[in-house]
Amino acid sequence: MRSFAGRDILSLDGFERAEFEHVFAVADELEPIARRRRNVDLLADKTLVTAFYQPSTRTRLAHEAAMHRLGGHVLGFADPKMTRAGDFYQESIKDVVHMLEYYGDAMVMRHFQQGAPHEAARWASIPVINGGDGWGEHPTQVLTDLYTVQRELGAVDGLTFLAIGDMRMRTMHSLGHALTQFDARMIAVAPPEMSLTDEFKAQIAERNLTIEEVDHVADAIAEADVIYVEPVVQADYTASREERGGEVSTTADNYRITRELLLDAKPHAMILHSLPRMDELPPDVDATRHARYWQEAYYGVVMRMALLALVMGAME
Ligand code: CP
């Protein structure tokens, strides 16, 4: 297995099964620190730089929380408009990275351009973590999701994932790549204009994961062990900032998870949602036995603790 020390975390394409297992094992080791809310000094001599060109609640703050739990330091920006990258100068990724690499020991970047963190990694002398790039990937989110599944259901192998929502989303790409490394099944439900591309499906099929597609969640809910929900009504991920104007359209029943629908679900079936949500996941689902998205948010901190400790060389 490749060492994680100094490594970029840009994509789950090519992330191997043994690497998932190793990251999960390190997360297990560090999880009691988060549970006890007692910070330690594992990364006391390290600094994380955050470079967020798009809004974020969970990804940025979970990385920051993870650094604080491990005794490290954080600096960065949550809005490029407060930097020269977002004003008149529109500084290039290369120029920005050649500054940020001297300000810390690892960097997490979210960007509206697909591939921007890869471009950053090309020039940075420190590890770069992809915090979500356009319609590209969201590797730390899906590592969090599969870790949540392992903690809640004991394993990823043998499970059927029902993925609902916009299949162009970066989480869906990372999920497809990740599931090729497990003995898992994936069923997708998406509006036709938001479906997986033939190219992506072919790439995944080459690695022994054939993604099945159905038109309505009701057609597959009874088979699902993991109900993986994302919106079909959402911001354009390729835009640097979107001000919502006027009425937002509502989600068709084909792509909504409701309490009524969950009457047909397996008793142990768990719902994940990376959040934020729209009306595809009504708040009254929160009180069902299936909801696991708050646990997912908690494990999001634990997973970032594991990744930061690994890429900064504090854990083997
Ligand atoms: N899950 C997730 O990516 O949320 P944020 O956009 O708030 O970071």
- pLDDT at residue 271 tops 90: yes
- The answer to the question of residue 9 being in a domain is no
User: What spacing in Å lies between the alpha carbon of 304 and ligand 1's midpoint?
Assistant: 13
- Residues 279 and 307 placed together within one structural domain of the fold: no
The DSSP result for 47-94, as a single string, is EEEEEESS--SHHHHHHHHHHHHTT-EEEEES-GGGSTTSSTT---HH
- Residues 79 and 203 placed together within one structural domain of the fold: no
- Residues 54 and 32 placed together within one structural domain of the fold: yes
- Residues 26 and 116 placed together within one structural domain of the fold: yes
- pLDDT at residue 241 tops 60: no
- The answer to the question of residue 316 being in a domain is no
Q: How many degrees, rounded to 5, is the angle at CA 109 between CA 107 and CA 110?
A: 165
pLDDT at 25 (0 to 100)? 98
User: What spacing in Å lies between the alpha carbon of 145 and ligand 1's midpoint?
Assistant: 12
Nearest ligand 1 atom to alpha carbon 57? 7
- The answer to the question of residue 40 being in a domain is yes
What band does 235 get if pLDDT is binned at 50, 70 and 90?
A: low
User: What spacing in Å lies between the alpha carbon of 296 and ligand 1's midpoint?
Assistant: 12
Ligand 1 site: residues with CB under 6 angstroms? 56-59, 132, 141, 274-275
Indicate the DSSP class of residue 95: H
Output the average pLDDT for the chain: 95
Q: Which two tokens stand for residue 203?
A: 């790439």
User: What spacing in Å lies between the alpha carbon of 62 and ligand 1's midpoint?
Assistant: 9
pLDDT at 142 (0 to 100)? 98
- Residues 251 and 184 placed together within one structural domain of the fold: yes
Structural domains counted in the chain: 2
- pLDDT at residue 238 tops 70: no
Residues 88-144: pLDDT tens digits?
889 999 999 999 999 999 999 999 999 999 999 999 999 999 999 999 999 999 999
Q: Rounded mean pLDDT of 287-304?
A: 98
Contact, 172 vs 230, CB < 8 A? yes
Ligand 1 pocket check: which of 50, 53, 59, 293 to mutate, most ligand atoms within 8 Å of Cβ? 59
Q: Whose CA is nearest to atom 1 of ligand 1?
A: 274
pLDDT at 249 (0 to 100)? 67
What band does 233 get if pLDDT is binned at 50, 70 and 90?
A: confident
- The answer to the question of residue 107 being in a domain is yes
Closest CA to 214 of 244, 186, 188: 188
Q: What CATH number did the domain enclosing 281 receive?
A: 3.40.50.1370
Residues 278-293: pLDDT tens digits?
999 999 999 999 999 9
What band does 276 get if pLDDT is binned at 50, 70 and 90?
A: very high
- pLDDT at residue 237 tops 70: no
User: Which residues constitute the domain of residue 218?
Assistant: 141-297
pLDDT at 244 (0 to 100)? 53
- Residues 187 and 272 placed together within one structural domain of the fold: yes
pLDDT at 119 (0 to 100)? 98
- Residues 125 and 150 placed together within one structural domain of the fold: no
- Residues 145 and 49 placed together within one structural domain of the fold: no
Indicate the DSSP class of residue 244: -
- Residues 284 and 233 placed together within one structural domain of the fold: yes
pLDDT at 247 (0 to 100)? 61
- The answer to the question of residue 255 being in a domain is yes
- The answer to the question of residue 11 being in a domain is no
Q: Rounded mean pLDDT of 178-206?
A: 97
- Residues 146 and 250 placed together within one structural domain of the fold: yes
- The answer to the question of residue 278 being in a domain is yes
Contact, 265 vs 193, CB < 8 A? no
- Residues 159 and 264 placed together within one structural domain of the fold: yes
- Residues 154 and 291 placed together within one structural domain of the fold: yes
User: What spacing in Å lies between the alpha carbon of 88 and ligand 1's midpoint?
Assistant: 28
Contact, 162 vs 227, CB < 8 A? yes
pLDDT at 71 (0 to 100)? 98
- pLDDT at residue 245 tops 90: no
Say what the pTM is: 0.95
- The answer to the question of residue 22 being in a domain is yes
Q: Whose CA is nearest to atom 3 of ligand 1?
A: 59
- pLDDT at residue 14 tops 80: yes
Identify the bridge partners of residue 149 per DSSP, sorted by sequence position.
none
- pLDDT at residue 208 tops 70: yes
Helix (H, G, I), strand (E, B) or coil at 254: helix
Q: Percent of the chain scored above 90 by pLDDT? A: 93
Q: Whose CA is nearest to atom 4 of ligand 1?
A: 58
